[in-house]
Each structure stands twice: as structure tokens, then as C-alpha cells.
């Protein structure tokens, strides 16, 4: 790829493969259900395959039993998948906590290409450095350990050496995205935990994902991931970042701020059809009050026609 050029994706050159990638930190609230519905519709509209992957790499946040709960909630909404923890498939395991050897192999590949270096800086030190401004992804790392660890003897994290000629890309919802020069980011923490940025790229390569559909809070992470694809000599997928769902208070919808899970809505008497119809209306796919199933929406679905602005959702508006 030419330096600074637009990253070419593999979405147009192969059969469609999408993915559902929930984090098992509790039940699925309406915002996650909405993004999952979009990912499912993208795959089914393309007559493609859909992979379910459990992203439990951040083990301290994992809630026991929530992976099974989310799978049950997806089935209840009519959002099925073709490969995953329960169905198996050629790229098993589909659970990140069981895929450490794949991440270690990727780091060694990047290391041989001069793209990985040890870092002994603490988060506090990075935040206190006057020349390290805060960006959308947190404090920017100023490259303190690029030429050797700043505190020899400390436990070492591993950082990825970002290119000075990052790629731009075209998002299927938000359109052309400019090239952003990013800071070197962590691939593996000092405690041995692999970073989300590494895990999702390695898994999407291994599972041959041709399009990633996710919330647009991750739009700014994409340049980092494109650099990893380049470092691993793998063509990236297409990306479709969908607007976030907001609660009644204007904050990002989350279980932490009282949003009920699909299981709780179901227990209160809400049908799958009513939940799906409410989400579909928020996407301008059906009229308010019009009932539909997920499968009813697939034939005419086009992700490029989705609204680009955040949408408020209120689970109290779904009739029981």
C-alpha cells in the first residue's frame, strides 16, 4: 500500500464474512442489541456467513454466565450465526481468553519486523508528561521507550511502533476518514494481558472477516488497527461504524446507568418482534409502531443509508 494512501479492504474480493463480538460483562442492553442487529442484517443481506466470537480478553470485567445469557438474547431476537462457541467451525476457539497463542505468534511476527519494543512507563508517568496531550484514546504516548526502556528492571509492556505515514480509509457509514498520525500503543500489558487492539485484529484475520460492523466509539481506533493489518501483511476488512445509542439523559447507553438488558425486557413481557421493531425504527428502517422481525428487514437492508447521528433509546417505550 502506498504510504499515506487509502487502505484497500478485502470486502469486495471474497464472500462476505461478518461477526458478532460481544463482551461478556453482563446482559445485552438495547445499544448492543441495535449494533448486533445491524451486523446481522449486513451479513444476511449479503447472503454471507456470520461468526460469533466472545471477546473476554479483559478478564476482570467478565461476569460469569453472561456469555451464555448474551447468546440466549441473540437467539431470542432472531439473530442467529453460522460459526461460534456453540456451533464450532474451522477457526475455533471462538473465545478470546483461549486464543493467547495466536496473539503471542502475532507479536513475534511484528517483533521480527521491528514493530514491537518494550516499554516500562507507567500510565501515571505518561499522563504527567507535559508534552503528552490527551487524545480521544487517552493520554498520548510520547515515545519515551522507543530507543530502550526508560526504567530498566521494571516489568515491561510491549508497544507497537506506529508508522509516520498512516493510512486513510473509507467507512461505510461515516464516509472518508483522514489519515491520523497515532502514538505507539500497547499490544501486551506488563501483567501479560493482551490488548484489545491486537486481539481483534488477529482474530479478524484468522476468522477471515470481510467487514467489521461496530459502534462509532471505535472509529478512532481504526487507524491503529489498520497499522496492525499492514504490519502483519494482511488485507483489512471493510469497516462500518454505526452511531451510538444514547440514554434519556444524553449519555451513552449502558447497563451501568440503568439500561435494562434484553433478558429483563423479555421477562417484563416485551416480545422479540417489539424490541426488533423499536430498534429498526431508530434506524429509519420501519415506521413507528410497525411490527417486524429481523428477517423481514434483511432483503432491503443497506448499511450506507443508516443515520449518522447518535440516537436516543428508551427501553420504557417498548410495550410489554
CATH number of 169's domain: 3.40.50.620
CA distances from 316 to 51, 134, 264 (A): 31, 37, 11
How many angstroms separate the CA atoms of 42 and 49, rounded?
A: 10
Bridge partners of 90? none
- Please, which pLDDT band fits residue 258 given cuts at 50, 70 and 90? low
Instruction: Give domain status of residue 253, yes or no.
Output: yes
SS3 255: helix
- Please, which pLDDT band fits residue 4 given cuts at 50, 70 and 90? very low
All residues at 6 or more sequence positions from 282 whose CB lies less than 8 Å from its CB, including other chains: 34, 245, 311, 313
- Asked whether residue 281 falls in the same domain as residue 300, the answer is yes
Instruction: Give domain status of residue 229, yes or no.
Output: no
Cell of 234: 494482511
Predicted confidence (pLDDT) at residue 139 exceeds the cutoff of 80: no
- Asked whether residue 30 falls in the same domain as residue 106, the answer is no
More confident residue, 216 or 256: 216
- Asked whether residue 266 falls in the same domain as residue 297, the answer is yes
- Asked whether residue 260 falls in the same domain as residue 179, the answer is no
Instruction: Give domain status of residue 213, yes or no.
Output: no
All residues at 6 or more sequence positions from 63 whose CB lies less than 8 Å from its CB, including other chains: 24, 25, 26
Predicted confidence (pLDDT) at residue 2 exceeds the cutoff of 50: no
Predicted confidence (pLDDT) at residue 10 exceeds the cutoff of 70: no
Of 96, 81, 40, 38, nearest to 241 by C-alpha is: 38
How many angstroms separate the CA atoms of 184 and 181, rounded?
A: 10
Instruction: Give domain status of residue 51, yes or no.
Output: yes
- Judged on CB neighbours under 10 Å (0-12, 13-18, 19+), 131 is exposed
Q: So what's the pLDDT on residue 136?
A: 56
How many angstroms separate the CA atoms of 41 and 275, rounded?
A: 15
Residues annotated catalytic, as ranges: 255
Q: So what's the pLDDT on residue 253?
A: 73
Instruction: Give domain status of residue 247, yes or no.
Output: yes
Q: In the 8-state DSSP scheme, what is residue 247?
A: -
- Asked whether residue 160 falls in the same domain as residue 250, the answer is no
Instruction: Give domain status of residue 7, yes or no.
Output: no
Where is the domain boundary, 166, 199, 232?
A: 199
Let me know: does 313 contact 30? Beta carbons within 8 Å: yes
- Asked whether residue 110 falls in the same domain as residue 84, the answer is no
Where is the domain boundary, 168, 183, 199?
A: 199
Predicted confidence (pLDDT) at residue 6 exceeds the cutoff of 60: no
- Asked whether residue 104 falls in the same domain as residue 195, the answer is yes
Q: So what's the pLDDT on residue 150?
A: 84
Where is the domain boundary, 142, 171, 199?
A: 199
The predicted model gives 145-156 an average pLDDT of 90
How many angstroms separate the CA atoms of 110 and 106, rounded?
A: 6
Predicted confidence (pLDDT) at residue 256 exceeds the cutoff of 60: no
- The least confident of 8-22, 122-136, 171-185 is 122-136
- Asked whether residue 39 falls in the same domain as residue 110, the answer is no
The predicted model gives 148-173 an average pLDDT of 91
Query: If you average pLDDT over every residue of the chain, what do you get?
Result: 89
Instruction: Give domain status of residue 24, yes or no.
Output: yes
**pTM of the predicted model, to two decimals?**
0.90
Domain hosting residue 146, numbered range: 100-199
Domain total in the chain: 2
pLDDT in tens, 32-70: 999 999 999 999 999 999 999 999 999 889 999 999 999
Cα–chain center distance at 30: 16
Let me know: does 206 contact 102? Beta carbons within 8 Å: yes
- Asked whether residue 256 falls in the same domain as residue 313, the answer is yes
- Asked whether residue 111 falls in the same domain as residue 157, the answer is yes
- Asked whether residue 54 falls in the same domain as residue 120, the answer is no
pLDDT in tens, 178-234: 887 788 999 999 999 999 999 999 999 999 999 999 999 999 899 999 999 999 999
Instruction: Give domain status of residue 12, yes or no.
Output: no
Amino acid at each position: 500500500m502506498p504510504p499515506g494512501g487509502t487502505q484497500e479492504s478485502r470486502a469486495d474480493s471474497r464472500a462476505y464474512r461478518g461477526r458478532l463480538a460481544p463482551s461478556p460483562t453482563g446482559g445485552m442492553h438495547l445499544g448492543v442489541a441495535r449494533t448486533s442487529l445491524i451486523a446481522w442484517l449486513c451479513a444476511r443481506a449479503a447472503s454471507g456467513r456470520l461468526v460469533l466470537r466472545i471477546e473476554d480478553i479483559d478478564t476482570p470485567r467478565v461476569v460469569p454466565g453472561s456469555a451464555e445469557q448474551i447468546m440466549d438474547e441473540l437467539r431470542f431476537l432472531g439473530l442467529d450465526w453460522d460459526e461460534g462457541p456453540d456451533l464450532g467451525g474451522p477457526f475455533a476457539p471462538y473465545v478470546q481468553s483461549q486464543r493467547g497463542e495466536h496473539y503471542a505468534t502475532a507479536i513475534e511476527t511484528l517483533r521480527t519486523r521491528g514493530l514491537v519494543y518494550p516499554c516500562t512507563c507507567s500510565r501515571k508517568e505518561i499522563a504527567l508528561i507535559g508534552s503528552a496531550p490527551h487524545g480521544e484514546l487517552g493520554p498520548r504516548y510520547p515515545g519515551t521507550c522507543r530507543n530502550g526502556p526508560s526504567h530498566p528492571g521494571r516489568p515491561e509492556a510491549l508497544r507497537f511502533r506506529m508508522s509516520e505515514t498512516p493510512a486513510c480509509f473509507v467507512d461505510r457509514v461515516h464516509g472518508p476518514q483522514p489519515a491520523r498520525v497515532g502514538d505507539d500503543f500497547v499490544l501486551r500489558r506488563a501483567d501479560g494481558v493482551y490488548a484489545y487492539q491486537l486481539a481483534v485484529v488477529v482474530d479478524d484475520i484468522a476468522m477471515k472477516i470481510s467487514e467489521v460492523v461496530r459502534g462509532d466509539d471505535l472509529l478512532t481506533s481504526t487507524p491503529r488497527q489498520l497499522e496492525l493489518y499492514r504490519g502483519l501483511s494482511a488485507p483489512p476488512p471493510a469497516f462500518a461504524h454505526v452511531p451510538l445509542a444514547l440514554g434519556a439523559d444524553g449519555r451513552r447507553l449502558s447497563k451501568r446507568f440503568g439500561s435494562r438488558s434484553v433478558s429483563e425486557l423479555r421477562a417484563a413481557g416485551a416480545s422479540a418482534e417489539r424490541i426488533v421493531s423499536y430498534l429498526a425504527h431508530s434506524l429509519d428502517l420501519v415506521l413507528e409502531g410497525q411490527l417486524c422481525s429481523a428477517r423481514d428487514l434483511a432483503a432491503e437492508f443497506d448499511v450506507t443509508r443508516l443515520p449518522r447521528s447518535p440516537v436516543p433509546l428508551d427501553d420504557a417505550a417498548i410495550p410489554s
